[in-house]
Amino acid sequence: MANVVVIGTQWGDEGKGKIVDWLSERADVVVRFQGGHNAGHTLVIDGVTYKLNLLPSGVVREGKVSIIGNGVVVDPWALADEIEGMRAQGIAISPENLSIAENAPLILPLHRALDQAREAALGKARIGTTGRGIGPAYEDKVARRAIRVGDLAEPQVLAEKVDRLLLHHNALLRGLGLPEVDRDGLIQALEEITPRILPFAGAIWKQLDEARRAGKRILFEGAQGTMLDIDHGTYPFVTSSNSVAGMAAVGSGQGPGAVDYVLGIVKAYTTRVGGGPFPTELHDDVGKGLGERGREFGTVTGRARRCGWFDAVLVRQAVKVNGIDGIALTKADVLDGMDELKVCTGYRIDGESFDHLPASSVQQAKVEPVYEVMEGWSETTRGARSWADLPATAVKYIRRIEEIIGAPVAMLSTSPEREDTILVHDPFAD
């Protein structure tokens, strides 16, 4: 049985939640492998909206196993609240269908405070984080001082680990002129949250290995997008983890051979939340219209997303970096009724042509997009469930995208509803 990785190819918000939910019907196990509760997935199922941050999208389907991998940073309080929120919507969540890696690092209140203080201190130069402590938690992981999920089971050494953590953080807080963390209060808070989180903890690398050997289909669910990857994104305006396909194996304790098919999620135009370069951003009524029709507001923050024309240069780069086998194209219906469309096919920087986005932030700031103009369509694509339902000019637009980015369309999403999807190739069939 094939195992599939779902990856965002732009700056996140490509519609991964709906695609992962659609694919999860064919999967046995759904795995989150990086990021934290800064990610947001909105699922619309039978008219009911579910907003997920940390929980894998598979939790809304009965009979599926959901896993939070070791590559994720876990805010135990946010996770506990999210579990209760899903239960209130009638979704059953228990250790039978949800597992958390015992070696996943925890996000603590001090991480949130530090994240927000840093952003405030940066002023106009701020990165645009969600302020949820993701970056500082990853820093502690790399510095080998993190408190991990499994540590909650060892209260006799938890105090020692907290002391080691605060040796760093209280010195940092003093330097920022902020109040120091109360040691005993933090330990008490961890002890109180433990019963709500620890029952879900386990060796997920072993659980996944057993699932693979049993022939189970595994869906690896990425968060954010390729251009927010800590190595391959628009640094420093990126997230704090690797959001590319290679992280699926690392962030879940599996070898590279665990991945059979990489599906890239591609929005039919481009959006971005927060600061950083955006070559095709539109500051006119066209960009405003895309945002309004596409309801471009962040699931996590509620911030309006910046909108622009489709950037084929970025997506082509993502196809290569991730080893993408096929794409799921989303939100083409937002382009309905537009007389003219533009696709960025190249860049110019100081008069020189580029077929990729350079790593230099100085060069990124100078990028001028080179556009190809295409005819739009007046008919609606919303709700289409076959190619025959699509306007000819919409099909032409899609085929041109395939050609430029170097990857075929495997799926086409025509609305937020689960069943409004045209399947060209089932990724699980490989």
- Give me the residue label for tokens 């057993």: 210
Give the 3-state secondary structure of residue 25.
coil
Residue 106: count other Cβ atoms within 10 Å of its Cβ: 24
Active site residue 81: no
Residue 429: count other Cβ atoms within 10 Å of its Cβ: 11
Active site residue 46: no
Q: Contacts by 45-52 with C-beta closer than 8 Å and gap 24+?
A: 45/21, 45/418, 48/89, 50/86, 50/89, 50/91, 51/299, 52/17, 52/82, 52/86
Cα 170 from Cα 163, distance rounded (Å): 10
Cα 305 from Cα 298, distance rounded (Å): 7
**Active-site annotation holder among 13, 115, 151, 333:** 13
| Residues in Cβ contact with 400 at an 8 Å cutoff, skipping those fewer than 6 apart | 343, 372, 374
The first and second tokens of residue 245, run together, are: 């396909």
DSSP for 198-247, written as a single string: GGGEE-HHHHHHHHHHTT--EEEE--S-GGG-TTTSSTTSS-SS--STTH
**Active-site annotation holder among 21, 28, 37, 41:** 41
Q: Which residues of 48-85 are buried (b: 16+ CB within 10 A; e: fewer)?
A: eebebbbbbbbbbbeebbbbbbbbbbbbbbbbeebbeb
Measured CA to CA in angstroms, residue 292 lies from 13, 286, 296, 297, 335 at distances of 15, 10, 7, 9, 11
DSSP structure class, residue 373: E
CB distance 299 to 381 below 8 Å: no
* Bond preceding residue 105 cis, omega within 30 of 0: no
CB distance 134 to 36 below 8 Å: yes
DSSP for 128-185, written as a single string: ---SSSHHHHHHHHHTT---BGGGGG-HHHHHHHHHHHHHHHHHHHHHTT-PPP-HHH
Residues forming the active site: 13, 41
